[in-house]
């Protein structure tokens, strides 16, 4: 091959790469200073306030409250024994899931109390398992744990969080979804479903895919996203799934349904937005942001929890 061919070949490669569709990069957002450099991991909406939890791995956890109306931050505690990974409000109380099989409960912040699991509710792998997500409905309270890509547990309570029905699996669980009276849990090589009130879970085979987000738009229609960016769809209520697309170059952290939109939160500040129940996604790069862990919407403003203590405030119009 002569030098001219090499030059033309290089130019063609550059043209091909430049022609590839890139994520829209935006910087039209605010960063709210919470007074911490630790990772933000979960957000819970309480009226005009956001209750934000987090903490770095193997370090202390924290809880802070941001009032979106008067734009003030108040610290609940920055000396929680373990990082806070998940939160929910159930039966008039706040529940915060930590690592190390620990949970806090509060009927009025800033008061926090250790939740004491009964001996019958203990699991074998007590250590290193973060509470990944919690789901609350009028029927009950569901929480999942997962860690180290190999172990997880499902906790169900149907008596006001007094007792639980723990189920352990050799899978790392990451997401929960509800489809009518059906409950779904996804994780590393696992997709399970049951009905409210039942403690027997059935597994759907998915070739060991790592499910980190689930959403059902109807009894039969649903979408799942995988850790490495694959998107799957079902048209038969979750019995079979088919890959429809794959977002390359990202690691997906979570998928959320907010204000009739799906948000896929990814590594390195990438967010996917769908306004058609996951049939297609628009991918946006939030400039110079790290991994995105959780999000909520209040008064047409998205608030996104990221690593390194950054709370992003971004208008819903910007993510269209």
Distance between CA atoms of residues 74 and 77, nearest Å: 9
pLDDT at 120: 84
The pLDDT of 249-258, averaged and rounded, is 95
Residue 214 falls inside a structural domain: yes
Domain-located, residue 3: no
* pLDDT in the model for residue 121: 83
Q: Measuring CA to CA, how many Å separate 144 from each of 175, 177, 186, 227, 307?
A: 8, 11, 10, 17, 22
Strand partners, 109: none
Q: How confident is the model at residue 301 (pLDDT cuts 50, 70, 90)?
A: very high
* 95-127: pLDDT as tens digits: 999 998 899 999 999 999 999 988 888 877 655
pTM of the model: 0.89
Residues 157-209 pLDDT 10s: 999 998 898 888 888 899 999 998 899 999 998 899 999 888 899 999 887 89
Domain total of the chain: 1
CA 64/CA 34 separation, integer angstroms: 7
d(CA 39, CA 99): 14
Asked whether residue 10 is domain-assigned, the answer is no
The percent of residues in the chain predicted with pLDDT above 90, rounded, is 71
- 50: domain CATH number is 2.130.10.10
Out of 12-26, 180-194, 215-229, 257-271, pick the least confident: 12-26
Domain for residue 8, yes or no? no
Sheet holding 242-246, edge to edge: 211-216, 222-226, 230-234, 242-246
Domain span including residue 215 = 24-315
pLDDT at 125: 62
User: For position 127, what pLDDT does the model report?
Assistant: 59
Name the band, by pLDDT with cuts 50, 70 and 90, for residue 310: very high
pLDDT in tens, 31-63: 999 999 999 999 999 999 999 999 998 899 999
pLDDT tier for residue 4 given thresholds of 50, 70 and 90: very low
pLDDT average, residue stretch 260-272: 95
For the segment 199-238, what is each residue's pLDDT rounded down to a tens digit? 899 999 887 899 999 999 999 999 999 999 999 999 999 9
Give the distance from CA 119 to its chain's centroid: 29
> What pLDDT shows up at residue 1?
47
Beta bridge partners of 53: 42, 63
- For 180-298, strand residue ranges (E) read 182-187, 190-195, 202-203, 211-216, 222-226, 230-234, 242-246, 252-258, 261-266, 270-274, 282-286, 292-298
Q: What is the pLDDT of residues 277-287, one digit of tens each?
A: 999 999 999 98
Residue 17 inside a domain? The answer is: no
Q: How far apart, in whole angstroms, are the C-alpha atoms of residue 184 and residue 195?
A: 9
Does the pLDDT at position 317 exceed 70? Answer: yes
pLDDT at 22: 61
Closest CA to 213 of 263, 259, 175: 175
pLDDT at residue 19, rounded to an integer: 35
If pLDDT is split at 50, 70 and 90, which confidence band does 94 have? very high
- Is 9 part of a structural domain of the chain? no
32 in any annotated domain: yes
Structure tokens at 85: 């990974």
Cβ atoms of residues 224 and 204 within 8 Å: no
d(CA 46, CA 34): 17
Cα dihedral across residues 96, 303, 34, 108: positive or negative: negative
pLDDT of the residue at 3: 42
């Amino acid at each position: 091959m002569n030098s001219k061919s090499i030059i033309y070949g290089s130019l063609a490669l550059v043209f091909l790469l430049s022609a590839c569709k890139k994520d829209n990069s935006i910087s039209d957002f605010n960063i709210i200073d919470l007074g911490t450099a630790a990772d933000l991991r979960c957000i819970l909406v309480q009226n005009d306030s956001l209750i934000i939890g987090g903490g770095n791995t193997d370090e202390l956890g924290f809880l802070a409250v941001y009032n979106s109306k008067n734009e003030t931050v108040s610290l609940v505690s920055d000396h929680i024994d373990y990082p806070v990974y998940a939160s929910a409000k159930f039966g008039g109380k706040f529940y915060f899931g930590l690592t190390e099989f620990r949970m806090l409960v509060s009927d009025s912040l800033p008061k926090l109390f250790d939740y004491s699991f009964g001996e019958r509710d203990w699991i074998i792998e007590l250590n290193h398992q973060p509470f990944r997500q919690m789901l609350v409905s009028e029927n009950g309270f569901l929480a999942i744990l997962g860690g180290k890509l190999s172990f997880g547990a499902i906790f169900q309570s149907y008596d006001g969080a007094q007792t639980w029905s723990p189920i352990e699996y050799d899978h790392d669980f990451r997401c929960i979804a509800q489809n009518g009276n059906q409950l779904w849990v996804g994780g590393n090589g696992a997709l399970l479903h049951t009905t409210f009130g039942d403690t027997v879970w059935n597994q759907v085979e998915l070739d060991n895919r790592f499910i980190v987000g689930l959403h059902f738009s109807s009894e039969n229609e649903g979408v799942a996203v995988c850790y490495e960016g694959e998107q799957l769809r079902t048209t038969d209520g979750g019995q079979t799934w088919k890959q429809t697309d794959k977002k390359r170059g990202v690691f997906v952290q979570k998928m959320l349904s907010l204000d009739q939109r799906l948000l896929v939160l990814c590594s390195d500040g990438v967010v996917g937005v769908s306004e058609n129940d996951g049939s297609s996604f628009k991918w946006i790069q939030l400039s110079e942001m790290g991994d995105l862990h959780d999000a909520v919407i209040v008064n047409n403003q998205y608030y996104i929890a990221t690593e390194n203590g950054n709370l992003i405030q971004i208008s819903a119009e910007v993510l269209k």
